[in-house]
Amino acid sequence: MGLFDPDMSTFVLFVNGPPYGREDAYTALRFAEAALAAGHEVRQIFFYQEGVLNASRLLSPAADEFDIAAAWQRLHHQGVPLVSCVSASLRRGVIDAEAAEDAEHDSTNLAACFTLGGLGEFVTAAAEVDRVVQFG
Amino acid sequence: MTQLTVVFRQVPHGNASGREALDLVLLSASYEVDTAVCFIDEGVYQLVKGQSPKIIASKDHIATFGALPLYEVDKVFICEESLQERGLSPDDLVIKAKTLPRVQIHRQIQQSKQVLTF
């Protein structure tokens, strides 16, 4: 733990944009990277609406195109929790092992660096930070 | 100072923003977060009576706006000008809520710690 820094802020990001086709998710990613680089804390990135599609492990861009899934993974390795809204995810076909078993699906596709969580996880995290920033 | 203000500004059909925004409002209120709701621009159509979303295979989230008082969400503000511009009056809406001039809606948004727009 570093010394207390009065210039350090805590953030929760709220991402509604899909992984491709709109810029919102990419902008959120860049914001998070810049915030961490400047010494701020990103307490949680919460994915809602079409944002939950970022949590699919099946995103397969062409080799010469930007790989947002890999970028989310790098961000997660820097300690940022990536939480995809469970009900918004299930409606859009993003599913973890537990939900797949409940729904009797034969496969799952939630990327390992994401967790499915309720809106309550967002609301709880949001209440404890300096800023919530919405993307899309 | 309000903790969270959720702003509805899109039509109720054609996308799921209104439904998912309302889910967020109710959840937030159930966590006892001081939550306000504003309806501006096209968002005032979210509240118009007599809509039939089931015909287009959508969940009828419009009826659920009636549950706001049950969740103790009493800061519900509807933009007066947005209603007028669309030929709507408070009698056309599924809930009884305060209509406010646009400048006061702006003030409400400014006085909120967090704002999410749908």
Domain extents in chain B? 2-117
Residue of A nearest to B29 (CA): A123
Residue of A nearest to B118 (CA): A136
Q: Which pLDDT score, from 0 to 100, does residue A4 have?
A: 61
Looking at the annotation, which residues of A are catalytic?
A: 85
Span B2-117: which CATH code? Answer: 3.40.1260.10
pLDDT band at residue A34 under the 50/70/90 scheme: very high
- pLDDT higher than 80, residue B47: yes
* Cβ <8 Å between B116 and A132: yes
pLDDT band at residue A7 under the 50/70/90 scheme: confident
* Among A123, A132, A134, beta carbon nearest to B27: A123
* Cβ <8 Å between A49 and B28: no
Contact B17, B24 (CB under 8 A): no
Q: pLDDT tens digit string along A39-50? A: 999 999 999 999
* Cβ <8 Å between B31 and A14: no
3-state DSSP percent of chain A in helix, strand and coil, to 5: 40, 20, 40
Report the distance separating Cα A64 and Cα A57, nearest Å.
Answer: 18
Q: State the angle between helix axes of A119-126 and B17-30 in degrees (0 to 180), rounded to the nearest 10.
A: 60
How many Cα atoms occupy the beta-carbon half-sphere of A83 within 13 Å?
22
How many Cα atoms occupy the beta-carbon half-sphere of A29 within 13 Å?
22
According to DSSP, the β-strands at A114-117 and A41-47 are unpaired
Q: Which pLDDT score, from 0 to 100, does residue A1 have?
A: 45
Cβ-based contacts of B27 with chain A (< 8 Å): 118-120, 123
